[in-house]
Amino acid sequence: MKKAERSKLFSATVMAGMLALSVTTGLRDVHADMSGYAAQTASTVGGFGGNTTGGSQATAAHTYTVTDRASLLKALGGENNATPKIIYVSGKIDMNVNDQGQTLTAADYAQGTGYNFERYLAAYAPSTWGKKKLSGVQEADRLQAQKNQAAQVVVKVPANTTIIGEPGAQFIGGNLVIQKGNVIVRNLYFETPYDDFPQWDPTDESTGNWNSQYDAISVQGASNVWLDHNTFDDGTHPDAQNGTYYGREYQHHDGDTDFTNGANNITVSDNIYRNHDKTMLIGNSDTKTTDAGKLHVTVTHNLFENTVQRTPRVRYGEVQVVNNLYQNDGTSSYKFKYAWGLGKNAQIAAQNNVLNIANASAPDIISKLKGTQLSDSGTQFNGASVSASTLSHTAPITWQPTAPAILTPTNQVQATVMSQAGADVLK
């Protein structure tokens, strides 16, 4: 990037932070001025994350360009570094590449742990182990190998941080964990992290399941977060390659963007979620009653293409789902299950969303997962206006969403989202 362009972008970032201070929870226009790369930080955040400013107060001394894992960690300065900072990602950061430039594999992470997949399969076969919680040497060895991988690929993002991808920027196989407040992540391509050591859980559902660690972005307990104009997919590790053990898919992926542990005041806007199963989780446990009154999330103007489920799946939260586009033509190996998951005490307000889903019917939009409260208007399914709440017999929400300052008409949602969502739109 030229020096003049960088200077313009930095100025726009500061301006964006100042503008965001006055934003309420109404949806604001994050689509307006799409011309020029600087617009990626000049547009104003809206929705529940409207007070997010990220690193907008950063000085030139705390403005960085990073090109690999080591320089990223150095720029972040540790999880407790609250100094405002702006970090530009240039090129590709592969989090499974160490500081010597070596690509680390499952064998590297498992070295010295004693973990062996064949012995693991033999130890915990459902026919002999049954449905009790795992214990023993092979599970301990698997856990240590998983911890070795986590030490390499998990990055904790401190407060008051903006991470921006320069054109073509990629973040491969890593998990950004946001546990501190006031963070912005924009214009990055994420290849969802691949857990080399999935765990067998005999107690998950009636037949057990393989479960994995690592989301592309995990927001855990943090408030004021804005995720905007990013692209997420499974990249070089599609689920079709997973294989099956114990009769269940050997799942190496977890979520794309998950919001848990009382995370609050978040806006997820203009992203592309593509080719993924468990896409967006808001609230991760029925027993976490402390999540009540938190998990306020706005999900707006995103493209969900060939996603299976959880777009989003909500527990306890009050969530706005506005002007999103859902596409699945049935030819992908990622088969649609549902869009909006109603978990315990969830309340979803859905406005002007468009779903083009082959081999599905309108009642499939909603999955009741111990929750019942959803109100929708302006929903279009395969070209027809529908009331998802009526078809699924949901109860109305009991909170009053702030009216969006700008609400795209349903008949314009597809064109708007297709032209404006994802990384590298704002060049």
> Read out DSSP for 52-115?
--TTTT--GGGEEEE-SHHHHHHHHT-TT--S-EEEEE-SEEETTB-TTSPBP-HHHHHTTT--
pLDDT value for 406: 75
pTM exceeds 0.85 for this model: yes
CA nearest neighbour of 72 among 187, 161, 150, 181: 161
* DSSP per-residue codes, 256-303: SEEEETT-EEEEEES-EEEEEEE-EEE---TT-GGGTT--EEEEES-E
pLDDT value for 1: 47
Answer whether residue 427 is part of any domain: no
Tell me how many domains the chain contains: 1
Catalytic residues: 310
Are 199 and 142 in contact, with CB atoms under 8 Å apart? yes
Answer whether residue 97 is part of any domain: yes
pLDDT value for 402: 86
Domain that holds residue 161: 3-420
pLDDT value for 46: 86
Answer whether residue 300 is part of any domain: yes
Residues with pLDDT less than 50, the chain = 1-42
What's the CATH number where 112 sits?
Answer: 2.160.20.10
**Residue-wise pLDDT tens digits, 339-384:** 999 999 999 999 999 999 999 999 999 999 999 999 999 999 999 9
pLDDT value for 43: 54
Answer whether residue 426 is part of any domain: no
Question: Which residues, including other chains, have CB under 8 Å from residue 266's CB and lie 6 or more apart?
Answer: 48, 49, 219, 223, 224, 225, 226, 227, 259, 296, 297, 298
